[in-house]
Amino acid sequence: MRTQIRSAATAVLILTILTGVVYPLLATALAQVLFPRQANGSLIEQGGQIVGAGPIGQAFDDPRYFWGRPSATAPFAYNAAASAGSNLGPTNDALIAAVQQRIDALAAADASLDIVNPAPIPADLVTASASGLDPHISPAAAAYQIPRVARARGLTPEQVRALVEQHTEGRQLGLLGEARVHVLKLNLALDALQ
């Protein structure tokens, strides 16, 4: 009996050291050597100050900025500790009301600048992603916002469109996913332009 207890305790101790200490230290060291930017959170800096993390979106509601995909996280938007979608179905009254609020907010931002945008609103501007943290919007969602951002900043739509095109990322490896625009990076470039 004592031999079995000693063997079991030894196995637990060895596995605890291997999986609880050695493996995490090795994985961390390899990540720091091979992928240092990603291992440290893909932080975005401007002027020596951290302004965001690449994989996590931020809330923008000022007409001078491009707005990102809505977040369904709680208790506040883009809460990385509560990554989740809303799980509301397409016929759910709460989802329909949330989408309508977002449509109204976009229309109000345009109206505040005397803009009537006849283009259809892309779905990613009014629906949250599965994670609730998506930092990207589609090129169509960025194009929809060009008139508002240009007018609010006193720029021509062509200047803003060129900036959007510069910040449009293609498919990963040329075939995975869709083209996308990182909202925070685009908004930082807008600020730098002025």
Total domain count, the chain:
2
Same domain, yes or no, for 25 and 121? no
Same domain, yes or no, for 127 and 155? yes
Same domain, yes or no, for 36 and 61? no
How many angstroms separate the CA atoms of 177 and 41, rounded? Answer: 22
**Residues whose CB is less than 8 angstroms from the CB of residue 10 and which lie 6 or more positions away in sequence, other chains included:** none
Same domain, yes or no, for 94 and 174? yes
Digitized pLDDT (tens) for each residue of the chain, 194 residues in all: 889 999 999 999 999 999 999 999 999 998 898 888 888 878 888 888 988 888 888 989 999 999 999 988 877 788 887 787 778 888 999 889 999 999 999 999 999 999 999 999 999 999 988 888 899 999 999 999 999 999 999 999 999 999 999 999 999 888 898 999 999 999 999 999 87
* pLDDT the model gives residue 20: 94
Same domain, yes or no, for 29 and 59? no
Torsion of CA 15, 18, 23, 26, to 10 degrees: 180
Are 53 and 134 a contacting pair, CB within 8 Å? Answer: no
Same domain, yes or no, for 4 and 96? no
Same domain, yes or no, for 58 and 145? yes
Same domain, yes or no, for 121 and 188? yes
Same domain, yes or no, for 164 and 152? yes
Same domain, yes or no, for 164 and 139? yes
- Domain range enclosing 144: 43-193
